[in-house]
Chains A and B, each alone.
Chain A
Amino acid sequence: MRKRILLILALAVSFTSLKAQNVIDLIIAEALAVPDSTGIVDDFGRRGGWIEIFNTSQGTVNFAGCFLTDDRNNLKKSIIPKGDLRTKLGPRQTTLIYASGNGADGTLYADFEIRPGSTVYLVSNDGRTIIDSLVVPASLPAGMSMSKRAFDLRQSEFEPLPDPTVPSPGIYNGDLNAATKAEAMAEKDPHGGILSLVAVTVVFSALAILWFLFWLFFDRPAKKAAQAKEKPKNSAAKAQVKAGEVSDEIAAVIALAMDMEQGGDVYAAIAMAMDLYFSDTVHDTESFILTMRPKDGSAWNDKKQIFRKLPR
């Protein structure tokens, strides 16, 4: 039992650490195994394979400490070193890791070369959790890459393309010129009728649900309870209300108005006290009643502890 709890805790901590870092928002967006003569060169002027990492989130993600590997049995094959600002990837940004086979070349270099027929994995900083992977088929021709592209409207879910593509290192694999929501709406609903209808329906639905919930669970039971418990008021109070001079409602209105005008609880208390005095009734459950209770809080917020003598 204890072990299970520890295991659950460990998993929870592991998951939390992943979430905290947001590294789960990273994907391997593209990978090239064998370059052709037009391929990009690294900082040392060499042409080789590369892996493109993309941050799908709207926040900055630091992937220092994460791992890259092409071996499922060795997830810690190539570590991304810590202490380099280039490991902080801005929202919706890409970075390239050169698969030079020598991680000592720099922060953005992997300790392996990509072989056609392998799979590239991006592993979390815990060294166990695979965040994303991309298959590099054996038939991948030189100078072509495998990539993922966003297909959903929000461009947040990326799917691997089945066929090799022309490499686009460091460039977002999506339609940057895609129509904005407003442009799409202008095309679909030029006169605004559909949006207005939908929006009005949603506003009404949201507030109608709220009304229904409160009517069902509070208003109706409260009214039923009030009907059941209703007792005739004493004659003095009745006479006052009948005269139309003072009623609960008027007093409450005065209290509310004063409270809004002056922003002071004092006025509300005075109005309420007047109502109680004139109507000769005490409402324990009245909405606007003010109940004075002795403070029994802790000492730290006690006024006596806060006050100090004025300097002389």
Chain B
Amino acid sequence: MEHIFQSLSQFWEYTGFANCSWQNIVMIGIGIVFITLAIVKEWEPMLLVPIGFGMIIGNIPMFPGLNIGIYEDGSVLNILYQGVRQGWYPPLIFLGIGAMTDFSALISQPRLILIGAAAQMGIFGAYLLALLFGFAPNEAGAIGIIGGADGPTAIFLSSKLAPDLMGAIAVSAYSYMALVPVIQRPIMLLLTTKKERLIKMPTPRAVSQREKIIFPIIGFLTTAFIVPSGLPLLGMLFFGNLLKESGVTRRLANTASGPMIDVVTTLIGLTVGASTQADKFLSAKSILIFGLGLLSFVIATTCGVLFVKIMNLFIKNPAKKINPLIGNAGVSAVPDSARVSEVVGREFDTKNHLLMHAMGPNVAGVIGSAVAAGILLAFLG
């Protein structure tokens, strides 16, 4: 009988109840909130569901030493987590993004590329602020990249510059990407006049298939020669796009933009979520990172919109003016931020469709954030 009680007592020590702390409960609660937001509000469900559930997995209290935790060498979760830790997943996701992105909107209006560059100011604004708050330069760089509004890029850079902060950075980046409509709309309205919001942009010209094929090659050569440290992201992005546009590798493009990106997105979301173990995640630093991440989004959106307004000052022909409501789309977050431009634009003129125009700076933002990540890696890595 005593032996039975001893066994039960021993078993109790292995259970989650015996090892639970309030931090675990908080993190599990956050995970459930993420899942709820994804299902009820449909905010980035593809990301928030895996991340949210990953948070729950990572915060199940357990007896250490069973070789099952994400930070225990050789465990299944640890092996899957290496894709994040070593930065394998983000380039694979970029391959898929490249294979599903149509750069026509950008090629037909090359001037919109510059908006994608302006919106990257959010990265460097957050970098400066993070330094001000006492973060080391490498940590500040990793935090700043949240402003690029690009989850894979944020994970890639933080895995190289500040692996300890990666969980907070990744969750912050994805959370704010999901909240793009909430964050960007008031800033767009604040910075634009009614007259500006009604600007109708000229119909983009038709883009030939040859241009679409040449774009990834020239785009890659130009950016990679300037910032070779961005090679994994830029190479995969443009390679994926070439697969799509070449017309002769449709099956490869379909796989990259379909099953492959789905698999990698699932794994990256789940493992990033699971990496947010309470003892490593719940800290003042994480809260600060969330605050700086929000500011970086605000700065990026502001700079994008203001840059369009500045561009308009130099455009004499009224028919060629750019609607500043597409400035927000420079912050990557494809295609959500472009969708915000469309929705806000139609609030003021139901026939003014900005989506196609906004896709230009939107995809330029993807290139811009990868370039910015490469620069930060070169200087701080």
Q: Give A contacts to B, CB under 8 Å.
A: 180-182, 185-186, 189-193, 195-196, 198-200, 202-215, 218-219, 222-223, 226, 244, 247-250, 252-253, 256-257, 260, 263, 283, 285-288, 301
- State whether A192 and B113 are in contact (beta carbons under 8 Å apart), knowing that A207-B364, A218-B107, A283-B206 are contacts in the complex: no
Query: Does B302 make an interface contact (CB < 8 A)?
Result: no
CA distance A283 to B209 in the complex (A): 13
Q: What's the minimum C-beta distance from B133 to chain A, rounded to whole angstroms?
A: 12
A-B pairs, top 4 by smallest CB distance, nearest first, are: A182-B138, A196-B124, A214-B110, A207-B117
- State whether A186 and B110 are in contact (beta carbons under 8 Å apart), knowing that A210-B219, A249-B353 are contacts in the complex: no
Q: Give B contacts to A, CB under 8 Å.
A: 100, 102, 104, 107-111, 113-114, 116-118, 120-121, 123-124, 127-128, 131-132, 136-138, 140-141, 161, 203-208, 211, 214-215, 218-219, 222-223, 226-227, 251, 335, 339, 342, 351, 353, 355-356, 359, 364, 367-368, 371-372, 375-376, 379-381
| Inter-chain contacts of A212 with B (CB < 8 A) | 110
* Contacting pair B117 A204 (CB below 8 A): yes
| Inter-chain contacts of A248 with B (CB < 8 A) | 203
Contact for A208 among B117, B203, B356, CB less than 8 A: B117
* Contacting pair A181 B379 (CB below 8 A): yes
Beyond A192-B137, A223-B205: 17 further Cβ-contacts under 8 Å? A182-B380, A195-B379, A196-B124, A196-B127, A196-B128, A202-B371, A203-B368, A203-B372, A206-B371, A208-B117, A211-B114, A219-B110, A219-B205, A252-B356, A253-B353, A257-B355, A287-B206
Q: What's the minimum C-beta distance from A97 to chain B, rounded to whole angstroms?
A: 33
| Inter-chain contacts of A244 with B (CB < 8 A) | 351
* Interchain Cβ contacts under 8 Å between A and B, 18 examples: A182-B161, A192-B137, A192-B140, A202-B226, A203-B368, A206-B226, A207-B367, A210-B222, A219-B107, A219-B205, A223-B205, A250-B351, A253-B342, A253-B353, A256-B359, A285-B206, A287-B102, A287-B206
Question: Secondary structure of the B side of the interface?
Answer: helix
| Inter-chain contacts of B127 with A (CB < 8 A) | 192, 195-196
* Contacting pair B113 A211 (CB below 8 A): yes
Question: Secondary structure of the A side of the interface?
Answer: helix
* Contacting pair B375 A199 (CB below 8 A): yes
**A-B Cβ contacts below 8 A, count:** 152
CA distance A244 to B211 in the complex (A): 30
* Contacting pair A191 B128 (CB below 8 A): yes
Nearest chain A residue, comparing its CB with the CB of B208: A285
CA distance A287 to B371 in the complex (A): 27
Nearest chain B residue, comparing its CB with the CB of A288: B104
| Inter-chain contacts of A249 with B (CB < 8 A) | 203-204, 353, 356
Q: What's the minimum C-beta distance from B263 to chain A, rounded to whole angstroms?
A: 16
| Inter-chain contacts of B368 with A (CB < 8 A) | 203, 207
CA distance A38 to B204 in the complex (A): 79
